Amino acid sequence: MEAARPINYSGQGFSLLGEKGRFVLPPDFRKAVRDSGMGERVLCLAKHPRWKCLTAFGLGRVDMFEAELDKLERNAIERGQDFDRELRANQMYGFARVPFDDSGRFVLPERYFKLGNIVDRAFFQGGGLQFTIWNPEELAKLGEGWEDAQEACRDLEAQAMAGKARK
């Protein structure tokens, strides 16, 4: 039996907080999350370990966690650094499972508004095996190397606000 290929998340998206307190998962991310979960519409969410944002992925990524932990541990040992496998495992496996509908609408659990400093807007940034969800103001604080994401966020936000104004 052939091993499943990992799902990669690329591109950007944007969502305003809508009626009933829901965000909309952009179509490209929605499809990838569904494919990762073998058809299940479940978005996995966690606090990013370094940045003030959220990290998200489909259920299929969980199967890769132990190999990732092994690699992180090996790299730390080779560098002579401490590695708290239990802490990192708790961070990785401590994600929330959030259902979304066919249109990509999902309710962000309250704690993630706080952990990601999310208010009423969300920018989605592809990042390979996972993607990040940002408050645009937090993304704007980042320095060199983030210019493309910051510009994409501004552009997509302007489009979303123009669409909202037409309604």
pLDDT in tens, 52-110: 999 999 999 999 999 999 999 999 999 999 999 999 999 889 999 999 999 999 999 99
Say what the pTM is.
Answer: 0.89
Q: How confident is the model at residue 4 (pLDDT cuts 50, 70, 90)?
A: low
Q: What are phi and psi of 112, to 5 degrees?
A: -80, -25
Q: Where are the beta strands (DSSP E) in 41-165?
A: 42-47, 54-57, 96-99, 105-107, 121-126, 131-134
Is the pLDDT assigned to residue 3 strictly greater than 50? no
- Name every residue whose Cβ is closer than 8 Å to that of residue 40 and which is 6 or more positions away in sequence: 34, 58, 59
Q: Are 5 and 60 a contacting pair, CB within 8 Å? A: no
Running DSSP on this structure, what letter comes out for residue 93?
Answer: H
Q: Rounded distance, CA 26 to CA 147, Å?
A: 21
Q: Which helix (H) or strand (E) holds 72?
A: helix 65-79
Q: How confident is the model at residue 1 (pLDDT cuts 50, 70, 90)?
A: very low
- Strand pairing class (22-24; 131-134): unpaired
Q: What is the pLDDT of residue 5?
A: 67
Q: What are phi and psi of 143, to 5 degrees?
A: -95, -145
* CA dihedral sign of residues 75, 77, 81, 85: positive
3-class DSSP state of 124: strand
- Taking alpha carbons only, the member of 59, 57, 43, 60 closest to residue 99 is 43
pLDDT single digits (tens) 7-54: 899 999 999 999 889 999 999 999 999 999 889 999 999 999 899 999
pLDDT single digits (tens) 101-121: 999 999 999 999 999 999 999
Q: Are 123 and 2 a contacting pair, CB within 8 Å? A: no
Q: What is the pLDDT of residue 2?
A: 37
Q: What is the pLDDT of residue 163?
A: 81
Is the pLDDT assigned to residue 131 strictly greater than 60? yes
Q: What is the pLDDT of residue 57?
A: 95
pLDDT single digits (tens) 140-161: 999 999 999 999 999 999 999 9
